[in-house]
Chain A
């Protein structure tokens, strides 16, 4: 920020040429008025290579002149020993007399610096929000949206919130410090909610208008959508998302993030084959364990030969497989998948046999 300010000040005051655009008429008027003693508005800075800027100094009787001297003395603590040009002030820092133009430029510089500082402050303000301590880790994060009274499933409608006239707060029951006000666009956020079962209480004008009870583990993000229905709040949608990669204690499935009913893709090596089913082991980062694959309805593809009839029957232990399907059950020891597609990369032994042939 200091560098930016330095650059700005140098750019604005360390001028080699001035770039001021004027209308032709203004230019002529200024040229005519380029002599001492004229109104400040009539004077102008000369463009590079052009006529010199006029220098009109204030007389010693001019109160502004006296004020400038006094201010300079006060600021610098040094009283000029000799009188400078009329209307000028002594800059003790640089040991030079400043013309009226330079003095005014100093004032403008302060204004600009203040404006830049205000901008920087506004930028900094973006990061601060006491209601949502983003740096907070651990616990459960609840992020939700409140829809207006008019919102309806399958339809677009106009919210009636603006007529209701008071704000709604969300509090974790039994933990009054965990509270937030629902914002104008309906969003709200609570972080650091203790894991386990907790109840969100929606309050308006001190009256409870709805509660939602949620069970979530540590590191889980709860995404909740509620809507106003009459004078009460009803739950529209709720989703739990596990964001904690290191939370082994809450894992119930050997496949990370695996949920029964979800589509899934796995890679591993076949350990045994029984009819249209086979067992495979996965040793990736996402899954580590034994997976039973039901492949009766799956399409097989062997080393690029799609639909090869031999591929399905030739599957054997040691083959590397890529399985797509649906997770039908899952525990920390075993999982079951109903496959829709199986890609088989035959084991090295088979390739050696082929080479021998």
Chain B
């Protein structure tokens, strides 16, 4: 996982560097958007499925403020697991025709809940968390777009940072300003 994480950063570095160059021409007028979709994460050893809801607000031609909520659910061993994330951060978008790749960095909290129905035990915890990753929007007609997104969810637990992959696929609705 560490090597994949490193490779991701290395690959994204040229893209981030290129973003510093001035734009060659007028770009699409940025609009706030809302994303809702299916989401999967491999949290620890458990595969969890759920949803992701995020909204972004442009603060420049290509930079956006992002608020991100997600909920993932599943079971492992004899326990039912729930993981909820609430993150905020920034997103850099490279809009090009119908495609809009983006990279983002988010910080916030991760709440995990573990319950074992057989013995009626429940346990919950809230830790610092974050997300680093990116995705791709493909614009459909009107305000709609589809988005594929991949993040490394970061969780600060037991004095160490852990990273778990999160994949999301869903629809984007672009609001009018």
Contact = CB atoms under 8 A, between A and B. Distances in A.
Interface stretch (A208-216, A222-230, A310-318, A342-350): A222-230
Nearest to B95: A20
Nearest to B27: A20
Interface residues on B, range: 35 or more
Given A125-B165, A223-B77, A184 B158 contact: yes
B150 A111 contact: no
A118 B12 contact: yes
Given A114-B12, A122-B4, A166-B158, A150 B123 contact: yes
Interface residues of A, number: 79
B12 A104 contact: no
B22 A40 contact: yes
A41 B18 contact: no
Given A161-B158, A166-B158, A184-B127, A44 B26 contact: yes
Contacts, number: 239
A254 B20 CA distance: 71
B160 to A, nearest CB: 6
Interface in A113-128: 114-119, 121-126, 128
Contacts of B5: 125
A183 B43 CA distance: 8
Contacts of A114: 11-12, 14-15
Interface in B61-114: 76-79, 81, 83, 94, 96-99, 101-103, 112, 114
A137 interface: no
Nearest to B76: A187
A2 to B, nearest CB: 17
A116 B24 CA distance: 22
A20 B125 contact: no
A185 interface: yes
Nearest to B155: A184
Interface stretch (A89-97, A139-147, A291-299): A139-147
B150 A187 contact: no
B11 A185 contact: no
B37 interface: no
Name the residue in B19, B42, B77 with the highest tally of chain A Cβ atoms < 10 Å from its Cβ: B77
Nearest to A239: B78
A223 B1 contact: no
A11 B22 contact: no
A156 interface: yes
B122 A183 contact: no
Interface string A18-51: 1111110010001000000000110111000000
A236 B118 CA distance: 10
Interface in A163-216: 164-168, 182-189
B116 interface: yes
A119 B148 contact: yes
Contact of A104 (B4, B24, B46, B101): B24
Nearest to B157: A184
A301 to B, nearest CB: 33
A237 B119 contact: yes
B167 interface: yes
Interface of B: 1, 4-5, 7-8, 11-12, 14-15, 18-19, 21-29, 42-46, 76-79, 81, 83, 94, 96-99, 101-103, 112, 114-116, 118-125, 127, 133-136, 148, 150-152, 155-160, 162, 165, 167
Given A122-B165, A167-B159, 20 more contacts: A11-B97, A45-B25, A101-B24, A108-B96, A117-B11, A121-B11, A128-B4, A129-B1, A144-B77, A145-B77, A147-B123, A156-B123, A158-B125, A162-B127, A184-B43, A184-B44, A185-B83, A189-B45, A227-B123, A237-B78
20 contacts: A40-B25, A41-B23, A43-B26, A100-B24, A101-B24, A101-B25, A110-B14, A112-B96, A115-B102, A116-B136, A128-B4, A143-B45, A143-B76, A154-B120, A155-B121, A184-B44, A184-B157, A187-B45, A237-B116, A237-B118
Interface of A: 8, 11-12, 15, 18-23, 26, 30, 40-41, 43-45, 100-101, 104, 107-108, 110-112, 114-119, 121-126, 128-132, 143-145, 147-148, 150-159, 161-162, 164-168, 182-189, 223-225, 227, 236-237, 239
